[in-house]
Amino acid sequence: MANGCYELVGLVPASSDFTLERAVQHYSGLTFAQYQRGEPVFHNEPVRAELLAGGLEPYLTGFRIWYGQWSVVAWLDASTDAVEDNRDLSTEPGLPAPPDVIAGCLSRLSIRSDVDAPDFDNSDRFTEYTDQLRERFGVFLLDFVNGDWWT
């Protein structure tokens, strides 16, 4: 966690049906619960999702997911640099998939959350978010800070 924010890179495999629109539609159909000091703050609260545009090159489009007042943003990069970086990553040890699958990822997501509370109230939300990316869309998640793949 850098500066109180959760940050990951997500590699989107060529076999995934991931699109920004599908991600927004998928997350919009989810709900969440949240507790603070053991007391429920949200129970079966709808997750809000929206498309984003107007980022900085190469991240011009993305999507934001809201869990109450706290959010996670993912910017999409489908540039040739992303493809080359994914090919370079495919030569590293400890991959979550065969090297040719990692090398074949044609885009990536730059994922960053809002600052979390000092007692990490939103760590479960971030885990829910990443679980959905992996389970629904097959995205491979890399934590560059720790150098670990999230599996």
What's the longest Cα–Cα distance across the chain?
A: 48
Question: pLDDT band for position 46 (50/70/90)?
Answer: very high
Average pLDDT, the chain: 92
Question: Residue 20 pLDDT > 70, yes or no?
Answer: yes
- Let me know: does 96 contact 140? Beta carbons within 8 Å: yes
Question: pLDDT band for position 43 (50/70/90)?
Answer: confident
Q: What is the layout of strands, in order, in the sheet containing 107-113?
A: 48-53, 61-67, 70-77, 107-113, 7-12, 140-143, 148-150
Distance of CA 15 to the CA centre of its chain: 17
